[in-house]
Chains A and B, each alone.
Chain A
Amino acid sequence: MGSNAIRVMVAKPGLDGHDRGAKVIAYALRDAGMEVVYTGLRHSPEEIVNAAMQEDVDAVGLSILSGAHLPLTEKVIAGLAAAGQDKEIAVFVGGTIPERDVAALKKMGVAGVFPTGTPLNEIVPAIKDAVAARRGAGA
Chain B
Amino acid sequence: MSWFNVTDFWKTIVYGLIAGAGLPALFAIGLSALSRGPRVATAGGGSDAEASDTVYGGSIIGLIIAAICFLIILSAIGWGIHYIYVSGHPAPKK
Q: Do A and B come from one complex?
A: no
| A residues neighboring B (CB under 8 Å) | none
| B residues neighboring A (CB under 8 Å) | none
